[in-house]
């Protein structure tokens, strides 16, 4: 039986002449012009192809096959230097948005993948979530209410897992979208390309898990690999949380962002107005002023919890303040000026500022909705199905509560949020047919890849901590960590010429930066309102793609690469550059 699934954004690079393995006709990729629904072909001619791979790598007697759909855009230069695969994270992230908004030269195509869904229709999904308004509308908990929040979230996740089981009980989809199968697909693609049989890979966020997995499974096939925004693979595969260490940098990021705000001053950062012309704070150190801002914000959130503001038909809940604060910490969805101005209105309790606050909140919520609007449950199906071991499934609320209390020690700012991390996969009913054994990473001397891996991460990444990059690097021989002293998830949130140069030299010349190198960002975090610009959510999320373009195109002022796209089993669309 043949199944059809789209390979998201498979990236090929034009690399100098390489020895090509002999391939039979049946495992070659036949390329032809792409046909897109919107007729946009990008800056150059795009070619599409497909490759048939096993649906289930663990069942060698099965005839079930899976069609991986691919595309490429040829390089300006006639000689080819090879192929690069990209993954933009998630897991299950919509590659169309990632690539389309990451570079103006990339355009979306068509196609469907083997999508994991727990609902038949969008209306059914909406109806289900409307049964649980508590999850979406509850304000910040006090410490006394913490266990109540965990209990309600635990109940919701059990109901959600039951729904997914009911919808997919007779389907094998939830068992064949795991990361190890994707890693094997990648090697099949590399072989079918007929180049040098080596993998070049650029992975962001969850893409780092995919990279670590394929590098551990096939270390002798790794030619170049850059992993950005690194997830701790031990946590990802072995615990009910996606990565409890992901929040290790949250408190430091919050402190550093407020410090940058104060140093930038008003009007570049409206929150800094708190200290303008106020003699009370004249002798305060920068750290003291940061603490004052934090206390003022927390006091305001608590006041909103006890006495919400009513403005027309809108109630300003404490949740809204947290939404604005978290968007600032994560450097997403709105400009720093908009976020800090809204927070300043809340601190000063200025009624005339409430319309501005509401519009900023709407902008942030729209960004969140667009980021999670794939209309499927691939994220849950992939990362929950990947897990194994005694700590991956939790049978009782007591176990969940115990893990939650342990987790909140990671961060004070996001303590309540981190506490819920362990409920998501605790009762998940599906397991991938092949799950990665992290004991492979514990080999003496580390995993010896054919060429060392380059790990990169911002200092203040609040989703994947720099600590995880350093941790994972220790398991791969001769790998190095390049740190960017920036903010937000992955290194593309702010420009860094230093980082661009280092990654460019790695990919093109095989030159690794010195381990522990720290790159600065090129501009200020806070700018005056007339200079304050912010990309759309998907564009901001995927600045790293534009960085990848600079890495390979500006590095030598010539287009050496022929295809830019990503591959995974579990996305929704074909992406075209």
* pLDDT at position 220: 97
- DSSP string across 517-551: -EEEPSS-SS--GGG-----HHHHHTHHHHHHHHH
* pLDDT at position 467: 95
Cα separation values, 297 from 107, 302, 409, Å: 42, 9, 21
* pLDDT at position 103: 31
Neighbour count for residue 545 (Cβ, 10 Å) = 27
* pLDDT at position 187: 94
* pLDDT at position 568: 47
* pLDDT at position 400: 82
Question: Which of 334, 325, 388 shows the shortest CA–CA distance to 359?
Answer: 334
* pLDDT at position 96: 34
- Are 166 and 189 in contact by the 8 Å Cβ rule? The answer is no
Neighbour count for residue 76 (Cβ, 10 Å) = 13
User: How do residues 196-223 score in pLDDT, each as one tens digit?
Assistant: 999 999 999 999 999 999 999 999 999 9
* Partner residues linked to 226 by β-bridges: 202, 454
- Are 284 and 506 in contact by the 8 Å Cβ rule? The answer is no
Neighbour count for residue 540 (Cβ, 10 Å) = 21
Q: How far apart are CA 447 and CA 75, in angstroms?
A: 33
Q: How far apart are CA 466 and CA 232, in angstroms?
A: 10
Q: Residue 264: which residues within 8 A CB-CB, separation 6 or more?
A: 272, 524, 525, 526, 527
- Are 281 and 292 in contact by the 8 Å Cβ rule? The answer is yes
* pLDDT at position 532: 54
* pLDDT at position 554: 29
- H/E run at residue 324: helix 318-330
Q: How far apart are CA 138 and CA 447, in angstroms?
A: 46
Q: How far apart are CA 212 and CA 300, in angstroms?
A: 43
Joined together, the tokens standing for residue 445 give 């001397």
Q: Three-state SS for 418?
A: helix
- Are 14 and 36 in contact by the 8 Å Cβ rule? The answer is no
Joined together, the tokens standing for residue 475 give 């398991």
Question: Which of 235, 190, 220 shows the shortest CA–CA distance to 29?
Answer: 190
* pLDDT at position 114: 64
Phi then psi dihedrals of residue 253, to 5 deg: -65, -45
User: How do residues 350-361 score in pLDDT, each as one tens digit?
Assistant: 777 888 888 898
Q: Where are the alpha helices (DSSP H) in 193-285?
A: 206-217, 233-238, 250-264
| HEC-encoded secondary structure of 330-399 | HCCCCCHHHHHHHHHHHHHCCHHHHHHHHHHHHHHHHHHHHHCCCCCCHHHHHHHHCCCCCCCCCCCHHH
* pLDDT at position 312: 78
DSSP 204: E
Unique residue bearing structure tokens 């992939």: 382
Sheet holding 518-520, edge to edge: 85-87, 199-204, 222-228, 454-460, 480-487, 518-520
The whole-angstrom distance between residue 459's C-alpha and the CA centroid of its chain comes to 16
Buried b (16+ CB within 10 A) or exposed e, 170-196: eebbbbbbbbbbbbbbbbbbbbbbebb
The whole-angstrom distance between residue 153's C-alpha and the CA centroid of its chain comes to 23
- 10 Å CB burial of residue 282 (0-12, 13-18, 19+) is exposed
Q: Residue 404: which residues within 8 A CB-CB, separation 6 or more?
A: 146, 150, 419, 420, 421, 422, 423
- Are 327 and 313 in contact by the 8 Å Cβ rule? The answer is no
Joined together, the tokens standing for residue 348 give 């000063």
User: Considering the entire predicted model, what is its pTM?
Assistant: 0.83
* pLDDT at position 351: 72
pLDDT, averaged in runs of 10, over the chain (577 residues):
37 35 58 67 64 90 83 61 77 42 29 65 74 51 69 85 87 88 92 91 93 97 96 92 82 95 92 83 91 90 79 76 88 90 85 85 81 71 87 82 79 77 82 93 91 97 93 97 94 90 91 94 84 46 36 30 42 28
Q: How far apart are CA 106 and CA 566, in angstroms?
A: 12
Q: Three-state SS for 206?
A: helix
Question: Which of 366, 307, 416, 390 shows the shortest CA–CA distance to 536?
Answer: 366
């Amino acid at each position: 039986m043949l199944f059809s699934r789209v390979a998201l954004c498979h990236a090929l690079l034009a690399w100098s002449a390489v020895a090509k393995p002999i391939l039979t006709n049946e495992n070659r990729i036949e390329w032809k012009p792409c046909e897109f629904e919107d007729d946009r072909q990008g800056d150059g001619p795009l070619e599409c192809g497909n490759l048939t791979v096993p649906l289930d790598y663990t069942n060698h007697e099965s005839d079930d096959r899976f069609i991986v759909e691919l595309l490429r855009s040829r390089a300006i230069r006639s000689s080819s230097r090879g192929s690069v695969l990209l993954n933009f994270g998630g897991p299950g992230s919509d590659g169309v948005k990632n690539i389309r908004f990451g570079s103006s030269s990339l355009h979306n195509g068509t196609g469907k993948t083997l999508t994991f869904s727990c609902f038949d229709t969008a209306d059914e999904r909406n109806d289900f979530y409307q049964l649980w308004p508590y999850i979406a509308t509850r304000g910040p908990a006090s410490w006394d209410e913490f266990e109540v929040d965990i209990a309600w979230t635990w109940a919701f996740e059990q109901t959600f897992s039951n729904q997914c089981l009911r919808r997919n009980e007779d389907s094998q989809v939830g068992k064949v979208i795991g990361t190890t199968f994707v890693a094997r697909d990648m090697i099949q693609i590399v072989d079918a390309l007929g180049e040098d049989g080596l993998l070049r890979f650029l992975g962001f966020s969850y893409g780092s898990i995919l990279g670590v997995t394929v590098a551990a499974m096939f270390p002798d096939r790794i030619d170049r690999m850059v992993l950005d925004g690194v997830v701790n693979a031990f946590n990802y595969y072995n615990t009910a949380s996606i990565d409890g260490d992901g929040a290790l940098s949250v408190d430091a990021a919050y402190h550093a962002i407020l410090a940058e705000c104060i140093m930038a001053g008003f009007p570049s950062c409206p929150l800094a107005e708190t200290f303008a012309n106020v003699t009370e704070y004249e002798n305060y150190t920068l750290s003291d002023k940061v603490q004052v801002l934090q206390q003022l914000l927390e006091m305001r959130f608590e006041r909103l919890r006890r006495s919400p503001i009513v403005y027309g038909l809108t109630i300003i809940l404490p949740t809204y303040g947290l939404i604005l604060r978290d968007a600032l910490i994560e450097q997403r969805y709105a400009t720093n000026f908009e976020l800090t101005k809204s927070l300043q209105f809340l601190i000063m309790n200025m009624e005339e500022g409430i319309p501005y606050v509401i519009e900023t909140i709407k902008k942030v919520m729209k960004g969140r909705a667009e980021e999670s609007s794939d209309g499927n449950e691939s994220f849950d199906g992939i990362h929950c199905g990947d897990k194994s071991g005694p700590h991956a499934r939790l049978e009782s609320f007591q176990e969940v509560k115990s893990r939650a209390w342990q987790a909140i020690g990671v961060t004070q700012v996001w303590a309540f949020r981190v506490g819920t991390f362990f409920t998501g996969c605790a009762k998940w009913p599906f397991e991938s047919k092949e799950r990665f054994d992290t004991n492979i990473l514990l080999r003496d001397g580390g995993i010896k890849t054919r060429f060392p891996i380059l790990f990169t991460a911002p200092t203040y990444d609040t989703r994947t901590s720099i600590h995880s990059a350093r941790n994972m690097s220790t398991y791969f021989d001769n790998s190095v960590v390049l740190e960017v002293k920036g903010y937000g998830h992955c290194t593309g949130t702010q420009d860094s010429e230093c980082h661009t140069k280092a990654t460019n030299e790695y990919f093109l010349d095989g030159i690794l930066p010195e381990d522990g190198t720290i790159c600065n960002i090129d501009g200020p975090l806070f700018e005056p309102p007339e200079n304050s610009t912010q990309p759309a959510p998907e564009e901001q999320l995927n600045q790293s793609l534009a960085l990848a373009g600079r890495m390979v195109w500006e590095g030598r002022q010539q287009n050496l690469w022929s295809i830019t796209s990503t591959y995974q089993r579990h996305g929704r669309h074909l992406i075209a550059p």
